[in-house]
């Protein structure tokens, strides 16, 4: 029988009030059950919030360097169990072993980073216009932070929310996505073993309609941080802001890579393929559109097809270069987008099918897919596919390339591939995206700089990671001392 994982509330691993569970399966082998988790209720969510609210004051009063030492210890313990976490992530989410190992390392690095940053928390001193007056600011925690995380980066995204929230002195309630809760539970277990006081971090699995909604609406929650789809994010925002909670949203993307006439085409194809097909295209920053100057369009199309057809599709634990989609529903959604693109007149130049290989027959695999001659009003060019599907769009010049890049409701990540310095600088200023890259793939983030989107990709309130992550979970107080 598969292992049963419990909720973690007030320092104890507990069964849900419902006494019901749900299962996760291996997307590379759908017959394999990975684990069973608690099908929690609103009552479980409220119990978790109560525990956080009770623990918040004492945790906030702990010296910040002492809080940081717990995060640093968690980083050390995560390092010791990296191989175990990597395998669990592959089995539950479907990433390749290399991708999963890199994600676990990101979580390790994030806890080390914020463990160190905790010692630098403070405010600013300013000169007062009055005599015999000290004027300065201090930073204080918000109180209780509710964290709701997605399935596609099931340890990295929880890490980059949990670590700054805890470093700044907040107590936390945390709901991971139901498709991939395993490594999140291990992360919480590691924090417990690292000395985190009871009640400071509470972990509840279950449906968003029960657990997530309770987190977003409860009067004792002060800040909500959500990463996921735009539709669900907008619902969370509406629920949370009814009583003026602080809200941080990171949502979908339709990320362009503009290939200039001056680009090295072979290099451009490598960059675009890595961004489009890495992590099976299941990243909010994945390259979804290649917008290519007509002078190099045919050459680029051949190069991207050649590169795509070398990708080995198969289970991550068996050495596949691209793993499965996370679930049957995600696979069906991707296949529906492929069918829609064909009906709208896009040219399928490679992929588009479920692989017929023996290693792929038991999982949710799809071939990496490239469509040519895509128009910017087609669904495949407008909507987030969240699968390994690339739309190649021809443009007549650089200005049209930027215009097409911006012709979307999203604004998360964007890339330009060019040898023209003027184009590179113009792109960074003119493209509507929160992350802009020159001669790099749209995916991949540094942990010490802000991350977030524009337009429909974000609430455009607070950024994540770096110092911005600390800002999201703290509030400034200004102090006047007349002596």
Q: How many H helices and E strands in the chain? A: 15, 22
User: Strands (DSSP E) along 294-419, which ranges?
Assistant: 347-350, 369-372, 389-395, 410-411, 413-417
Q: Which two tokens stand for residue 423?
A: 């184009």
Concerning whether 12 is annotated as a catalytic residue, the answer is: no
Residue of 73, 103, 250, 367 marked catalytic: 250
* Residue written as token pair 């949502």: 251
Closest CA to 114 of 76, 84, 145, 72: 72
Task: Give the C-alpha separation, 2 to 32, whole Å.
Answer: 9
Beta-sheet pairing, 255-259 with 3-5: unpaired
SS3 202: strand
**Opening angle at CA 143, ends 139 and 146, nearest 5:** 120
Cβ proximity of 220 and 242 under 8 Å: no
Q: Give the largest Cα separation in the chain, rounded.
A: 80
**Backbone phi and psi for residue 411, each to the nearest 5 degrees, phi listed first:** -160, 60
* Residue written as token pair 């679930």: 327
Q: Which two tokens stand for residue 169?
A: 């002195």
User: Strands (DSSP E) along 298-396, which ranges?
Assistant: 347-350, 369-372, 389-395
User: Strands (DSSP E) along 260-364, which ranges?
Assistant: 287-293, 347-350
**What end-to-end distance do the CA atoms of the chain give, in Å?**
69
Task: Give the C-alpha separation, 28 to 313, whole Å.
Answer: 10
Task: Give the C-alpha separation, 184 to 147, whole Å.
Answer: 12
Q: What share of the chain is helix, strand, coil (3-state, %, to 5)?
A: 40, 25, 35
CA dihedral 315, 319, 323, 328 (to 10 degrees): 0
The 10 Å Cβ neighbour count of residue 483 is: 6
Task: Give the C-alpha separation, 103 to 159, whole Å.
Answer: 10
Cβ proximity of 161 and 147 under 8 Å: yes
Q: What is the set of active-site residues?
A: 250
């Amino acid at each position: 029988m598969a292992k049963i994982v419990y909720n973690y509330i007030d320092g104890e691993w507990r069964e849900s009030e419902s006494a019901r569970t749900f299962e996760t399966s291996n997307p590379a082998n759908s017959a394999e059950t990975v684990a069973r988790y608690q099908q929690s209720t609103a009552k479980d969510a409220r119990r978790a919030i109560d525990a956080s609210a009770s623990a918040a004051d004492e945790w906030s009063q702990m010296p910040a360097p002492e809080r940081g030492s717990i995060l640093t210890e968690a980083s050390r313990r995560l390092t010791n169990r990296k191989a175990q976490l990597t395998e669990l992530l592959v089995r539950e989410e479907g990433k390749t072993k290399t991708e999963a190992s890199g994600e676990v390392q990101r979580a390790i690095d994030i806890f080390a980073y914020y463990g160190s940053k905790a010692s630098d928390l403070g405010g600013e001193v300013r000169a007062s216009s009055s005599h015999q007056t000290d004027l300065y600011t201090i930073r204080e925690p918000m109180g209780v932070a509710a964290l709701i995380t997605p399935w596609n980066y099931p340890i990295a995204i929880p890490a980059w929310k949990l670590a700054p929230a805890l470093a700044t002195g907040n107590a936390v309630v945390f709901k991971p996505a139901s498709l991939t809760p395993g490594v999140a539970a291990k992360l919480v277990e590691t924090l417990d073993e690292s000395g985190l006081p009871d009640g400071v971090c509470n972990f509840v699995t279950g449906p968003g309609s029960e657990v997530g909604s309770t987190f977003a609406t409860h009067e004792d929650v002060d800040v909500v941080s959500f990463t996921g789809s735009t539709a669900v994010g907008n619902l969370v925002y509406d629920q949370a802001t009814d009583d003026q909670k602080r809200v941080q949203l990171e949502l979908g993307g339709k990320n362009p890579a503009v290939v200039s006439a001056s680009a090295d085409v072979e290099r451009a194809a490598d960059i675009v393929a890595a961004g489009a097909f890495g992590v099976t295209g299941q990243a909010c920053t994945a390259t979804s559109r290649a917008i290519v100057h007509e002078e190099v369009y045919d050459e680029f199309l051949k190069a991207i097809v050649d590169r795509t057809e070398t990708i080995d599709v198969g289970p991550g634990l068996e050495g596949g270069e691209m793993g499965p989609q996370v679930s049957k529903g995600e696979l069906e959604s991707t296949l529906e987008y492929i069918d829609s693109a064909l009906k709208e007149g896009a040219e399928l130049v490679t992929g588009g099918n479920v692989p017929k290989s023996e290693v792929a027959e038991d999982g949710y695999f799809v071939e990496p897919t490239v469509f040519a001659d895509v128009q910017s009003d087609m669904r495949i060019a407008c909507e987030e596919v969240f699968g390994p599907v690339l739309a190649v769009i021809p443009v007549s010049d650089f200005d049209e390339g930027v215009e097409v890049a911006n012709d979307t409701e999203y604004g998360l990540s964007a890339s330009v591939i060019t040898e023209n310095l003027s184009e590179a600088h113009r792109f960074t200023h003119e493209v509507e995206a929160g992350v802009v890259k020159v001669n790099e793939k749209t995916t991949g983030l540094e942990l010490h700089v802000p991350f977030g989107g524009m337009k429909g990709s974000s609430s455009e309130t607070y950024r994540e990671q770096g110092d911005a992550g600390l800002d999201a979970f703290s509030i400034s107080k200004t102090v006047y001392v007349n002596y």
